[in-house]
Amino acid sequence: MKKPLLAILAVGALAPPVHAQDALPPDADLRAAALEWFEPIPETPVAPEGNILSPERVDLGAMLFFDPRMSRSGIFSCQSCHNVGLGGTDGLETSIGHGWQQGPRNSPTMLNAIFNIAQFWDGRAPDLAEQAKGPVQAGVEMNNTPENLVETLETMPGYVDAFAAAFPDEDAPIHFDNFARAVEAFEATLITPNSAFDRFLNGDDAAMSEQEKRGLDAFMTTGCIACHAGVNLGGQEYYPFGLIERPGGSVLPEGDRGRFEVTQTVDDEYVFRAAPLRNVALTAPYFHSGVVWDLSEAVHIMSSSQLGTELAEPQADDIVAFLGTLTGQQPQIVHPILPVRGATTPEPQPMYDQ
């Protein structure tokens, strides 16, 4: 991605298509245009800043990610809402947490989240490590405290050994920051390369069908790229939801003012991080409110609310077909065998009310 996004936010500032309305450009031209905006997912994971991807740290992170004892109840793990088998989401409108409380926003995928500029719908966590500290403490989610979580880890010999191996230079490696760092290391490996789109970007003309190529072309020429570009086709910047036309209250509930809650700036009312679109065909329901189950409907809502355009049905279908090419190789994760509890490990407290 080479063009600054903000420079083209105003609709209409996009370069006109280099071809007649219904003609598909030659593959080489389409690829060249796409490479101005998008990047393929790398084949191998990259270590986050300030972290390393040693096998010991990644394996520890997998254990923590799948361990329901990280929640106060002993019921919810990271995996509960970011299911590696469900495109990294929970498939619910908004997540259910401790005590069957319903959370305020749709659970975003952790697949390829390493490529986002910041985490959460409002970007309030600068990186995956900081993100990992949120849900474990949220009363509506895992309802735990750093103290209880650390005590849980310290009293299991299997975790004592695993932290020592993952952080070999530290005398007292079990602490909340290292919990988060290990989860971040594991999540950094959860990337989905080799989608049809990536194979096309990398030179394989046959990786995408004619319809999918028309959809890619339309995705660029109608202006979707203004917000959905980069390696994740989104996740790079913040934009008002309802830039042109505010969608109905079920899609954009008044009570959730988005990034305003983070910055307390009026300009940030109803501003959200543009959703990353990798694997979007797997991650229904859509939007932070999670009320839209159909990808085509989501495309139409985006078009009218963000671009002020009513897409013709064939073009919308083409874009949906293109979005399907963003489904990459899903991670093959061996479910970790979790450490056995120790004699003084805190018992799960499903009825604990913080």
Asked whether position 215 contacts its own copies by CB under 8 A, the answer is: no
DSSP state of 205: G
Q: Does 100 bind its own copies (CB under 8 A)?
A: yes
Structure tokens belonging to residue 158? 């299997």
Phi-psi region of 59 (alpha: psi -120 to 50; beta: other; left: phi over 0): alpha
Q: In this chain, which stretch among 115-123, 168-176, 259-267, 336-344 interacts with its own copies, using CB under 8 A?
A: 336-344
C-beta neighbour count of 293 within 10 angstroms: 12
SS (H, E, C) 226-273: HCCCECCCCCCCEEECCCCCCCCCCCCCCCCCECHHHHCCHHHCCEEE
Of 209, 221, 208, 216, which Cα lies nearest the Cα of 233? 216
> Does residue 341 belong to the site contacting its own copies (CB under 8 A)?
yes
Helix (H, G, I), strand (E, B) or coil at 10: coil
Q: How far is the CB of 164 from its own copies (least distance, A)?
A: 20
Task: Using CB under 8 A, count the residues that bind its own copies.
Answer: 40
Cβ 34 to its own copies shortest distance, Å: 25
The contacts of residue 314 (CB under 8 Å, 6+ apart) are none
In the complex, the smallest distance separating the C-beta of residue 210 from its own copies, rounded to whole angstroms, is: 22
Measured from the CB atom, is 266 or 343 closer to its own copies?
343
Q: Using the rule CB under 8 A, which residue among 67, 127, 212, 217 binds its own copies?
A: 67
Residue 307 within binding range of its own copies, rule CB under 8 A:
no
Determine which one of 93, 141, 184, 212 is catalytic.
141
Stretch near its own copies under the rule CB under 8 A, chosen from 73-81, 173-181, 203-211, 268-276: 73-81
Query: Are 217 and 16 a contacting pair, CB within 8 Å?
Result: no
Whether the link from the prior residue into 331 is cis, omega within 30° of 0, is no
DSSP 8-state secondary structure symbol assigned to residue 281: G
Q: Rule CB under 8 A: is residue 127 a binding residue for its own copies? A: no
Does 297 qualify as catalytic in the annotation? no
Which of 96, 129, 153, 190 is in the footprint of its own copies by CB under 8 A? 96
Which of 173, 285 has the CB closer to its own copies?
A: 285
Query: What are the angstrom distances between the C-alpha of 267 and each of 32, 170, 249, 259, 288?
Result: 35, 44, 20, 9, 19
For the CB of residue 84, give the shortest distance to its own copies in the complex, in Å.
5
Nearer to its own copies by Cβ, of 20 and 343: the residue is 343
- Alpha-carbon distance of 130 to 126, in angstroms, equals 7
Question: Which of residues 51, 71, 73, 236 is near its own copies by CB under 8 A?
Answer: 73
Contact flag: residue 346 with its own copies (CB under 8 A): no
Footprint (CB under 8 A) of its own copies, residues 263-292: 281-282, 284-285
Q: Answer yes or no whether residue 2 interacts with its own copies by CB under 8 A.
A: no
Q: Which residue, 77 or 131, has its beta carbon nearer to its own copies? A: 77
Q: How many CA atoms lie within 13 A of 188 on its CB side?
A: 26
- Does 338 participate in binding its own copies (rule CB under 8 A)? yes
Q: Which residues contact 326 (CB under 8 A, 6 or more apart)?
A: 195, 197, 233, 277, 278, 279, 280, 281
Q: Considering the rule CB under 8 A, would residue 313 count as an interface residue with its own copies? A: no
Span of 29-37, 166-174, 305-313, 332-340 interacting with its own copies by CB under 8 A: 332-340
Provide DSSP, 114-139. Answer: GGSSSBSTT--BSSHHHHHHHHHH-T
Applying CB under 8 A, which of residues 51, 71, 80, 232 lies at the interface with its own copies? 80
Q: Please answer whether residues 230 and 236 qualify as being in contact, where contact means their C-beta atoms are separated by less than 8 angstroms.
A: yes
Residues with a catalytic annotation lie at 141
Residues near its own copies, by CB under 8 A? 66-69, 73-75, 80, 83-87, 90-92, 96, 99-100, 102, 281-282, 284-285, 293-294, 330, 332-338, 340-341, 343, 347-348, 350
